[in-house]
Amino acid sequence: MSCPLDGVLASDRILLRPPTADRFDLIRRMVAHLVANGAIPSTAAEGALAAVVSREEELATGLEAGLAVPHGFCAQVSEPVAALAILETPVDFDALDGEPSRCVLLLVEPDTPEGRRRHLDFLGDVAEKWSQTQVRKVVMEAGSVDAVLRALGVAG
Protein backbone atom coordinates (compact mmCIF):
# COMPACT_ATOMS: atom_id res chain seq x y z
CA MET A 1 0.00 0.00 0.00
CA SER A 2 1.37 3.40 -0.99
CA CYS A 3 1.63 6.30 1.40
CA PRO A 4 2.16 9.42 -0.71
CA LEU A 5 2.36 12.90 0.75
CA ASP A 6 -1.21 13.54 -0.36
CA GLY A 7 -2.42 10.98 2.15
CA VAL A 8 -0.59 12.30 5.23
CA LEU A 9 0.06 16.03 4.82
CA ALA A 10 -2.65 18.67 5.07
CA SER A 11 -2.75 22.46 5.37
CA ASP A 12 -3.17 22.39 9.15
CA ARG A 13 0.04 20.38 9.46
CA ILE A 14 2.35 22.93 7.84
CA LEU A 15 4.35 25.39 9.93
CA LEU A 16 5.80 28.39 8.10
CA ARG A 17 8.90 29.79 9.75
CA PRO A 18 8.34 28.55 13.32
CA PRO A 19 10.86 29.67 15.94
CA THR A 20 13.27 26.93 16.93
CA ALA A 21 16.45 26.48 18.95
CA ASP A 22 17.72 23.22 17.45
CA ARG A 23 16.50 20.02 15.77
CA PHE A 24 15.15 18.50 18.99
CA ASP A 25 13.27 21.69 19.86
CA LEU A 26 11.78 21.67 16.36
CA ILE A 27 10.77 18.00 16.65
CA ARG A 28 9.02 18.76 19.97
CA ARG A 29 7.20 21.72 18.42
CA MET A 30 6.12 19.71 15.40
CA VAL A 31 4.78 16.79 17.45
CA ALA A 32 3.00 19.24 19.78
CA HIS A 33 1.44 20.91 16.71
CA LEU A 34 0.17 17.54 15.45
CA VAL A 35 -1.31 16.80 18.88
CA ALA A 36 -2.89 20.27 19.15
CA ASN A 37 -4.67 19.92 15.80
CA GLY A 38 -5.86 16.37 16.55
CA ALA A 39 -3.65 14.53 14.05
CA ILE A 40 -2.02 12.61 16.91
CA PRO A 41 -4.20 11.66 19.90
CA SER A 42 -3.06 13.29 23.15
CA THR A 43 -2.68 9.80 24.61
CA ALA A 44 -0.04 9.09 21.95
CA ALA A 45 1.88 12.37 22.30
CA GLU A 46 4.60 11.04 24.59
CA GLY A 47 5.10 7.86 22.58
CA ALA A 48 5.22 9.71 19.25
CA LEU A 49 7.75 12.23 20.53
CA ALA A 50 9.90 9.52 22.10
CA ALA A 51 9.89 7.50 18.87
CA VAL A 52 11.03 10.41 16.70
CA VAL A 53 13.62 11.68 19.19
CA SER A 54 15.02 8.20 19.70
CA ARG A 55 15.40 7.69 15.96
CA GLU A 56 17.05 11.10 15.58
CA GLU A 57 19.51 10.32 18.38
CA GLU A 58 20.42 7.00 16.73
CA LEU A 59 20.95 8.42 13.27
CA ALA A 60 20.35 12.00 12.17
CA THR A 61 17.76 12.40 9.43
CA GLY A 62 19.19 15.25 7.39
CA LEU A 63 19.22 14.29 3.72
CA GLU A 64 20.44 16.72 1.06
CA ALA A 65 19.46 20.02 -0.52
CA GLY A 66 18.04 21.46 2.70
CA LEU A 67 15.69 18.58 3.59
CA ALA A 68 15.44 16.60 6.84
CA VAL A 69 12.91 13.82 7.47
CA PRO A 70 12.78 13.03 11.20
CA HIS A 71 10.53 10.03 11.74
CA GLY A 72 9.53 7.28 14.12
CA PHE A 73 7.21 4.36 14.63
CA CYS A 74 4.63 4.57 17.42
CA ALA A 75 2.28 1.83 18.57
CA GLN A 76 -0.29 4.40 19.77
CA VAL A 77 -1.00 5.84 16.32
CA SER A 78 -3.20 3.97 13.88
CA GLU A 79 -2.53 6.00 10.71
CA PRO A 80 0.56 7.72 9.34
CA VAL A 81 0.75 11.43 10.06
CA ALA A 82 3.14 14.13 8.86
CA ALA A 83 4.00 17.74 9.56
CA LEU A 84 6.13 20.05 7.46
CA ALA A 85 8.13 23.04 8.72
CA ILE A 86 9.71 25.60 6.43
CA LEU A 87 12.39 27.38 8.46
CA GLU A 88 13.64 30.94 8.20
CA THR A 89 16.94 29.94 9.79
CA PRO A 90 18.23 26.49 8.78
CA VAL A 91 18.76 23.88 11.50
CA ASP A 92 21.55 21.31 11.63
CA PHE A 93 20.19 17.79 11.12
CA ASP A 94 23.64 16.35 10.26
CA ALA A 95 22.69 16.17 6.58
CA LEU A 96 24.54 13.97 4.13
CA ASP A 97 25.78 17.05 2.23
CA GLY A 98 26.85 18.86 5.42
CA GLU A 99 24.30 21.64 4.89
CA PRO A 100 21.66 22.66 7.45
CA SER A 101 17.99 21.94 6.71
CA ARG A 102 15.39 24.58 5.83
CA CYS A 103 12.59 22.11 5.11
CA VAL A 104 11.74 19.53 7.77
CA LEU A 105 9.19 16.83 7.12
CA LEU A 106 8.29 14.88 10.26
CA LEU A 107 6.57 11.51 9.95
CA VAL A 108 5.03 9.28 12.60
CA GLU A 109 3.96 5.84 11.43
CA PRO A 110 2.12 3.05 13.24
CA ASP A 111 4.59 0.52 14.63
CA THR A 112 3.32 -2.33 12.49
CA PRO A 113 4.77 -4.31 9.58
CA GLU A 114 2.41 -2.42 7.24
CA GLY A 115 3.50 0.91 8.73
CA ARG A 116 7.16 0.05 8.13
CA ARG A 117 6.47 -0.98 4.51
CA ARG A 118 4.39 2.14 3.91
CA HIS A 119 7.22 4.24 5.34
CA LEU A 120 9.51 3.21 2.48
CA ASP A 121 6.87 4.29 -0.05
CA PHE A 122 6.54 7.61 1.74
CA LEU A 123 10.30 8.22 1.67
CA GLY A 124 10.38 7.36 -2.03
CA ASP A 125 7.60 9.87 -2.73
CA VAL A 126 9.43 12.55 -0.76
CA ALA A 127 12.74 11.86 -2.54
CA GLU A 128 11.07 12.01 -5.95
CA LYS A 129 9.39 15.35 -5.23
CA TRP A 130 12.47 16.88 -3.55
CA SER A 131 14.73 15.91 -6.46
CA GLN A 132 12.87 18.46 -8.58
CA THR A 133 14.74 21.78 -8.33
CA GLN A 134 11.62 23.87 -8.97
CA VAL A 135 9.66 22.06 -6.22
CA ARG A 136 12.48 22.68 -3.70
CA LYS A 137 12.73 26.34 -4.65
CA VAL A 138 9.01 27.02 -4.40
CA VAL A 139 8.62 25.13 -1.10
CA MET A 140 11.57 26.83 0.61
CA GLU A 141 10.50 30.28 -0.57
CA ALA A 142 6.76 29.78 -0.03
CA GLY A 143 4.91 32.63 1.61
CA SER A 144 1.76 30.61 2.20
CA VAL A 145 0.61 27.13 3.10
CA ASP A 146 -1.31 26.93 -0.19
CA ALA A 147 1.89 27.61 -2.15
CA VAL A 148 3.64 24.75 -0.33
CA LEU A 149 0.77 22.35 -1.00
CA ARG A 150 0.61 23.30 -4.69
CA ALA A 151 4.37 22.84 -5.11
CA LEU A 152 4.19 19.38 -3.53
CA GLY A 153 1.07 18.39 -5.46
CA VAL A 154 -0.90 17.88 -2.26
CA ALA A 155 -4.62 18.57 -1.93
CA GLY A 156 -5.06 20.77 1.14
pLDDT by residue (tens digit) across 101-124? 999 999 999 999 999 888 888 888
pLDDT of amino acid 1: 38
Query: Helix 113-130 to helix 133-141 angle, to the nearest 10 degrees?
Result: 90
Range of the domain at 34: 5-152
**CATH number, domain containing residue 84:** 3.40.930.10
Choose the weakest-confidence range: 26-35, 86-95, 123-132: 123-132
pLDDT by residue (tens digit) across 72-105? 999 999 999 999 999 999 999 999 899 999 999 9
The β-bridge relationship of strands 101-110 and 14-16 is unpaired
Q: Is the C-alpha dihedral spanning 76, 48, 99, 138 positive or negative?
A: positive
Q: Name the phi and psi angles at 123, rounded to 5.
A: -60, -35
pLDDT of amino acid 156: 58
Residue spans of beta strands (DSSP E) within 3-47? 14-16
The reply to whether the predicted model has a pTM over 0.85 is: yes
Average pLDDT of the segment spanning 52-58: 96
Cβ proximity of 26 and 18 under 8 Å: yes
Rounded to a whole number of angstroms, the CA Rg of the chain reads: 14
pLDDT of amino acid 27: 98
34-43 CB contacts, 8 Å cutoff, 24+ apart? 34/81, 34/83, 34/106, 34/108, 37/12, 37/13, 39/12, 39/13, 39/81, 39/83, 40/77, 40/81, 40/108, 41/76, 41/77, 43/76
Q: Total domain count for the chain?
A: 1
Give the SS3 label for residue 8.
Answer: helix
Cβ proximity of 48 and 74 under 8 Å: yes
pLDDT confidence tier of residue 3, bands split at 50, 70 and 90: very low
pLDDT of amino acid 39: 95
Reply yes or no on whether the pLDDT at 7 is more than 80: no
What is the average pLDDT score of the chain? 92
